[in-house]
Amino acid sequence: MPFHITSDQDLVRKTVRELVDEVKGKTAEHLDRERQWPAEEIKKLASMGLTGMLVPADLGGPGTDTVSFVLALEEIARASGVLALAVNNINALGSFPVATRASEEVRASVVPSLLTGERFAAWALTEPGAGSDWASVRTSAKKTEDGYVVDGVKSFVTGAPHAAYFITFARVAGSEGLTALLVPADAPGVMVAPPERTMTMRGNDMASVYFKGVKVPASHRLGAEGDGAAIAAQANELAALGGAAIAVGLMQAAFEDSAAYANQREQFRTPLKGFQAIQFLMADLEVEIRAARLLTRAAADKRDRGEECSTDIAAAKLYAGEVAKHVTQKAVRIHGGTGFMRDLPLERYNRDARSLSIYAGTAEMQRAALAAKSLGL
């Protein structure tokens, strides 16, 4: 069936575009070049309620629908992939799991600051020996009379040096599965390593976090003991959907830059847009972007209607994450030799796009999920 966004959803899209338009250009380049965490930009978005979009209204959040969420992320990514990835994590992997799974005590004391953007909770699941294989998580949480003592190491924690809390997944002795704990970043025994120097999405300050004898009160457990895998799956699915939207935004930015270049650049005394080879490349870009956008919005719409949408999200994440690499590369071809100049934002789009087939579940994991559904595995 045809998919249409409502006037309210379109207003969200237009408002966010106006808000981040000033980021596109020098600010986005600065964040990438200097590997700078987009703190000021996040504060501006937080003032519009964009750091707690997925938190339901009955829990104090704006109760933003999922379609509006992906529309907002697409516009942010069109301006800056680094900023979009940070906002996606802060929402899908931060304020959402805390607001929906925390105790009443923690919800009252922590969630308000997450919604205002004053603080944020970083996602600490991956370990040196456990990426997609959550069963291999080794971080332990020993039970005490009033809580837990956490020991272990987490890797690839986005925004780790700036987080107020870490949503940490650990194994509790005597309990099956994983347990999620909200660990204050300033708790004794928590140490954040220097940020990694990543090839893509520079400025997200991804770092390892070490926990040594860290005491965590029982009230800081998210959900029940053993609920960690379910909490991780739900939040990670939202992050994957956000990742698809980010891929669409990056592709749209590359498409717009390519169209502008084809209009102003001349070869053989003819505008570049007059060559059929360029026209066909632009047509290919448009089709791939449209397909990725529709898959993403349709999956979001299905979630808003309360329907099962896991495979829809997997399809959107797989397709958008994979074609983003092809679209940004084709954009380089349209620019010719100029496309290889690091001064152009196109070079940044090309790098950032490569992270989106890995982020929030690799392309292979999405393929496995789709195959399991279609083949009844």
Looking at domain 121-226, which of 3.90.79.10, 1.25.10.10, 3.30.300.30, 2.40.110.10 is its CATH number? 2.40.110.10
- Helix residue spans in 103-145 (DSSP H): 104-116
Looking at domain 7-116, which of 1.10.540.10, 3.30.70.100, 1.10.1060.10, 3.40.50.11930 is its CATH number? 1.10.540.10
| Backbone φ/ψ region at 361: left (φ over 0), alpha (ψ -120 to 50), beta | left
Which position has the higher pLDDT, 278 or 3?
A: 278
Q: What does DSSP assign to residue 199?
A: S
Mean pLDDT value across the chain = 93
Domain boundaries, the chain: 7-116, 121-226, 229-375
- The rounded Cα 221 to chain-centroid distance in angstroms is 24
Confidence check: pLDDT of 2 > 60: no
Give per-residue pLDDT as tens, 168-179: 999 998 889 999
pTM, two decimals, is: 0.95
Please state the rounded mean pLDDT for residues 23-49. 92
**Domain at 229-375: CATH code:** 1.20.140.10
Nearest to 329 by CA among 251, 273, 267, 265: 251
